[in-house]
Amino acid sequence: MSFVCLMNKPQVAVVTGSSNGIGKEIALMLARNGFTTYATMRNLTKSSELRIIAEKEVLPLKIVQLDVTDDNSVKNAIKLIIEQSNRLDVLVNNAGYGLSGALEDLNIDEIKSQYETNVFGLIRTTQSVLPIMRKQMSGIIVNISSGLGRFGIATCSAYASTKFAIEGLSESMSYELEPFGIRTIIIEPGVIKTNFIKSTVLAKKSKDPNSPYIQLIKGMKSGMENLVKNAADPQYVAKIVIDALMDKNPKMRYFAGKDIEEIMNIKNKMSDEEFHNMLKQM
C-alpha cells in the first residue's frame, strides 16, 4: 500500500531544482505515484519538457517559480502552494550545483555562491515548510546529499563540504523534528548520468594553464567522464526516493547507486588512512 493511500488524503509534495536531471525525475515519479506535486525551479523557461510530459500523462503536477537563494521567492512559492493545497507533506531539497577546482584555486566568492545554493538554499526552503508540517504533526523532509557527503575527493572540496554540511544538518534536525511527527531522509547518489558533470562550474583560476593543479584538474575531469558512461540514470534516484517515502522500516540514509554502495562497503572495512591511499591510487 502506498504512502499516499495510507494517509487517506491527497498528499502534497514540493521538489526544488526540478528543471532537469534528478529533480525533474523525482517530480515526475511523485506525480505518477499520486502525489500532488509542485515542481519548482529558478528559471521557468526551462520547464517546457517537464510541462509537456505532465500534460501528456495528465499528471497532478504544477510548475512554480522558486529560487532557493532568494528569501522572498521561497516565501512566495510556499505561500502559493499552501493557498492552493492547504497542506504540505513532502519537501525534496534537490536544488544544487557542482563547483570544481583545487581549494587554492577557488575564489572565496565562488565558494560562497556554492554554499548559498547547496546549503543555505536548503535551509531556507526547510525553514519555510516546518511551521506547516509542525501544525499538521506530520511531514517528510528529503535532502538530496551525495556520496561526496561521506568522503571527499580531489578538486571537489567546496562541493563535498556542502554535502557534508547537509549530512550533519539533516542528522541534527531529525532529533528536533521527530517529536512533531516529521521524518528526515538523506539520499546519497553516486555518479548519475545527468548534465550535472557538464554543468559543473570550474573555478576561474582552475582554467588557467599555469595553475599548479592543472594536470590534476584534467585527470579528474577525464576520470569523471569515464564514470558517467556506466552511471545510473536519474530515474534510479527518483525510484530510491519514492521507495524511501513508502518504506515500512524507514531509515535515515539511502544510497542511490551501486557505485556508492560498493565504495561505502569498502570504506567501512578500512581505516581512514587505508581508504585515503586507495582513493589516491584510483
H helix or E strand, kind and range, residue 139: strand 139-144
State which amino acid sits at residue 273. Answer: E
* pLDDT value at residue 197: 65
Cite the active site residues. 159
Which distant-in-sequence residues (6+ apart) come within 8 Å of 275 by Cβ?
A: 151, 266, 267
Eight-state DSSP code of residue 65: E
- Give the residue from 246, 183, 233 showing the smallest Cα distance to 33: 246
Q: Are 167 and 174 in contact (CB under 8 A)?
A: no
CATH of the domain at 84: 3.40.50.720
- Structurally, the chain folds into a number of domains equal to 1
State which amino acid sits at residue 99. Answer: L
Q: What are the tens digits of pLDDT across the range 37-52?
A: 999 999 999 999 999 9
**Residue numbers in the chain where pLDDT is lower than 70:** 1-8, 195-198
Provide the β-strand partners of residue 37: 13, 61
State the Cα torsion 264-265-267-271 to the nearest 10°: 150
Domain around 218 = 3-281
* pLDDT value at residue 6: 44
* pLDDT value at residue 268: 95
Which distant-in-sequence residues (6+ apart) come within 8 Å of 229 by Cβ?
A: none
- Give the residue from 85, 99, 95 showing the smallest Cα distance to 123: 95
Which distant-in-sequence residues (6+ apart) come within 8 Å of 60 by Cβ?
A: 31, 34, 35, 36, 37
* The residue to which cell 515548510 is assigned: 129
Three cell numbers at 49? 519538457
* pLDDT value at residue 5: 44
pTM over 0.95: no
Three cell numbers at 99? 563547483
